[in-house]
Amino acid sequence: MKTKTIGDVTIDTIWESGGPYQVPENVYPDVTPEIVERHRPWMIESCMEEATGFLIFAFQSYLIRTPRHTILVDCCVGEDKERPHRPNWHQKKWPWMANLLAAGITPEDIDFVMCTHLHVDHVGWNTQLKDGRWVPTFPNARYIFAASEYEYWKGAIAEQDWIRDAFNDSVLPVVEAGRADLVASDHEIETGLWLEPAPGHTPGAVVLNLEAGGDKAIFTGDMMHHALQVPEPQLSTIFCSDPVQSAKTRTEFLQKNADTGNLILPAHFPGESAGRIVSRGDCCMFEFDKS
């Protein structure tokens, strides 16, 4: 993604990985062949591999530079993590840190790390392995977690194996190092940069709003994983804690933001991942920002 500018604030992506991911049926239990066929023509232009029909996903962080602070939004899968349940993410190395440095930022420069939710692919770079221990990657940063999200996962790890590893190696070490701020779901990081509840994908998921110079951008995390969910907001993923609430949150968000010009930055959209919600007849579409 090319650098975006909102007033006096710049936004860049820090890319970890991406590419053809899965066929729609493996991500969206309620999708039908008719829905896929209806949207295939525009999807193969930007976000579906034509030969396989795989949806294209990206795993990326967003870097926000305001005049006062440098903020990292979401932390991807991370390196060296033990993920035996996810072979593609197990003990991996990625170009993510090289991409951060290429953006002119060192780990010491980050003032805030903000996770939209605490899934494994949003907390990875929170920590790194140093001398056999997981320590915060960004030594000067405060880490912003919605308290309700943190409390939910803290309780849930007793029951769900697959999330325990990520919580234990990428969230708890930050809390134990005293670097975490467990905040209300409408917390303001600085003037014009604030959280807003977006429950459904996970119980305490939030989006991050940015307003500067009369323009607005919204970092939506996993409220939607793919542009197919913009015209078809009823489609929740297999990863959603509450698929019904997820669809409700998404539908309301799309209606509220359609034709406003607000820049929308979802975590997993590929390529020119930012864009705008535009109405087309009785539904909405995602218009990728190529500027």
CB of 267 to Zn ion, least distance (A): 5
Q: What value, to the nearest 5°, has the Cα angle with vertex 290 and ends 286 and 291?
A: 130
Segment near Zn ion (CB under 5 A); pick from 62-70, 80-88, 155-163, 222-230:
222-230
Residues 6+ apart with CB under 8 A from 85: 161, 162, 165
Return the number of other C-beta atoms located less than 10 Å from residue 219's C-beta.
Answer: 26
Q: Are 228 and 39 in contact (CB under 8 A)?
A: yes
CB 10 within 8 A of CB 281: no
Taking the mean position of all CA atoms in its chain, how far away is CA 27? 16
Q: Which is nearer to Zn ion, 6 or 120 (CB)?
A: 120
Q: Which is nearer to Zn ion, 6 or 115 (CB)?
A: 115
Stretch that binds Zn ion, among 11-19, 48-56, 209-217, 219-227 (CB under 5 A): 219-227
For residue 28, the minimal CB distance to Zn ion (Å) is 14
Residue 111 binds Zn ion, judged by CB under 5 A: no
Q: For residue 127, give Cα distances in angstroms to 3, 56, 64, 88.
A: 26, 27, 20, 19
Residue closer to Zn ion, measured from CB, 222 or 232 = 222
Minimum CB distance to Zn ion, residue 115 (Å): 10
DSSP letters spanning 209-224 = EEEETTEEEEEEETS-
- Can residue 74 be called a binding residue for Zn ion (CB under 5 A)? no
Nearest distance in Å: CB 250, Zn ion: 14
Dump strand ranges (E) for 213-269. 215-221, 263-266
149 binds Zn ion (CB under 5 A): no
Considering the rule CB under 5 A, would residue 121 count as an interface residue with Zn ion?
Answer: yes
Residue 76 or 97 having the CB closest to Zn ion: 76
| CB neighbourhood size of 273 (10 A) | 22
Closer by beta carbon to Zn ion, 16 or else 121: 121
- DSSP secondary structure of 35-94: HHHHHHHHHHHHTB-TTT-PEEEEEEEEEEE-SS-EEEE---S-SS---TT-GGGTT---
> Which residue, 79 or 222, has its beta carbon nearer to Zn ion?
222
Number of residues engaging Zn ion in binding (CB under 5 A) = 2
Regarding 222 and contact with Zn ion (CB under 5 A), the answer is: yes
Taking the complex as a whole, how short is the minimal distance between the CB of residue 133 and Zn ion, in angstroms?
26
* CA dist., res. 257 & res. 259, Å (int): 6
User: Closest distance between Zn ion and the C-beta of residue 53, in Å?
Assistant: 21
Nearest distance in Å: CB 120, Zn ion = 8
Shorter beta-carbon distance to Zn ion: residue 121 or 149: 121
Q: Where on the chain is the footprint of Zn ion (CB under 5 A)?
A: 121, 222
